[in-house]
Amino acid sequence: MGIGDTAKVFAKFGFNYRNNDSIKSNEFTEVNNRKSFYINSKLIQNKNTNLRVFANYRITENNFSEDEKSLNSRFIFNQKLFNNFVNLSTMYETSSGNVARQEYLYIKTEPGLGYYTWIDYNSDGIQDFDEFEIAEFQDQANYLRVPKPNLRFLATQRATFRQGINLNFIQWKVKKGFKKTLSHFNNESFLSIENEQSRAENSFNFNPFNFDKNKLIGLNFSLRNSLYFNKNLQNYSTTYTFGKLKNKQQYFIGTQENNTKTHQIDFAHKFATFWLLDLMGKFSKNDLQTENFDNRNYSIKGKEVQPKISFLYNPNNKLTAFYHYKKKVNSLEEFEELNQQKFGLEYFYLGSKKNQVTANINVFLNDFKGNTNTPVAYQMLEGLQAGKNHTWNLLFNRKLNSFLNLNLNYSGRKSENSKTIHTGSVQLRAVF
């Protein structure tokens, strides 16, 4: 049953009844029945406002187990205010489900086709679960993580909330005085929360901001705010970005929680027709806490600065030179410290016959204090070694016709205490 036009504004209501039979004790008998109530609607739609609501409530009456209730809903609201000066976007969602009490194992795959690498930290030749890391380089990606068969499930309720707020001052560019000054700025804010909790006795979690540690199974929290001056103009363009991330997951080996905070400033200015200057400065704090692996825990404070100069011969040719300095200090366990200097050259070319070439070469000088054969050192060094390291990459892309693309990729790296490693790949991709 419904009213309105589904292409415009409408509301649709419904009820569904389902009866399920199955074989039990060699007899064909009723197992359960389900009653579902739902609404699907688009309540407002115009050039400034959009509002949609969906909800589905289900009651399952089981004859041989406890009854179940589930709720899935979604609320979407978009609003433009004050002649597009303020743009709001809101999404709220709840969903009922089940999460497997999952265990994993790592299996070796073809070289370069995996996602993880194994590092024998204790030199015992045994592949322990905490010795697998996300591979930083393709030649190291030799393992995949796959779930073991599992019949144990946990009832969960997920609450998701996303909110975006954009303030656009550009409409004041024709004004004078203070409003004229503000017209060079705009601000973008975004908040995202995915909160998954265990359910007890058909309870529901409606509050995404409820971080009850006793019920929390998974959490993805992201807050980001960017303040722009002369956005995308490359005319003293400046951006200040604040970011906060929080991720918590439960594994069969215990919980793992990661927290990150960043403050970053980016500056871009084009001068003398062909030259582009970029500057980046960043402060960060990255914490990892694992329940049963103390050797993986860290609290790292970081500082970065990167000046970059680019020569723009034309829109299809770009040569860039840069310097990147990083300092990382871990305040837990062995108190590792890294001072890294990176020197690099990059080249980009786009040919008239749909050929694209990208090349780069980098030199790393890593002054590292601490044991390099630990998970924390691997994270701080980003897969590189202490001392001098070299990396290089060459990528060629050609569009053969309307649906075929050819990619040729070659990369290499070298450190003071290892041989040169060369990696190449060829990919032919069809787009239908």
Sequence spans of domains, the chain: 14-104+146-352+364-388+412-423, 105-145
Q: Model pTM?
A: 0.89
Can you tell me the mean pLDDT for 67-96?
Answer: 94
Radius of gyration of the chain (CA): 27
**How would residue 185 be classed by pLDDT, with cut points 50, 70 and 90?**
very high
Q: What gap in Å lies between CA 42 and CA 49, rounded to an integer?
A: 11
Percent of the chain with pLDDT over 90: 69
Q: What is the distance between the terminal CA atoms of the chain, rounded to a whole angstrom?
A: 39
Quick check: 6 pLDDT over 80?
no
Across the beta sheet with 143-147, the strand order is 104-108, 143-147, 116-118, 132-134
* CB contact at 8 A, 257 and 297: no
Token representation of residue 316: 């299809």
Mean pLDDT, the chain, as a whole number? Answer: 92
Q: How far is CA 107 from CA 144, 326, 367, in A?
A: 5, 34, 34
- Longest CA span, the chain: 86
Cα–Cα distance for residue pair 238/269, rounded to 1 Å = 9
Provide the β-strand partners of residue 105: 146
Please tell me whether residue 169 adopts helix, strand or coil conformation: coil
Among residues 108, 130, 112, 110, which one has the least CA distance to residue 121?
Answer: 130
Report whether 94 contacts 71 (CB < 8 A).
yes
Query: Per residue in 171-180, pLDDT tens?
Result: 888 888 898 9
Residue 120 scores a pLDDT above 90:
yes
Compute φ and ψ for 203, nearest 5 degrees: -75, 160
The SS3 call for residue 228 is strand
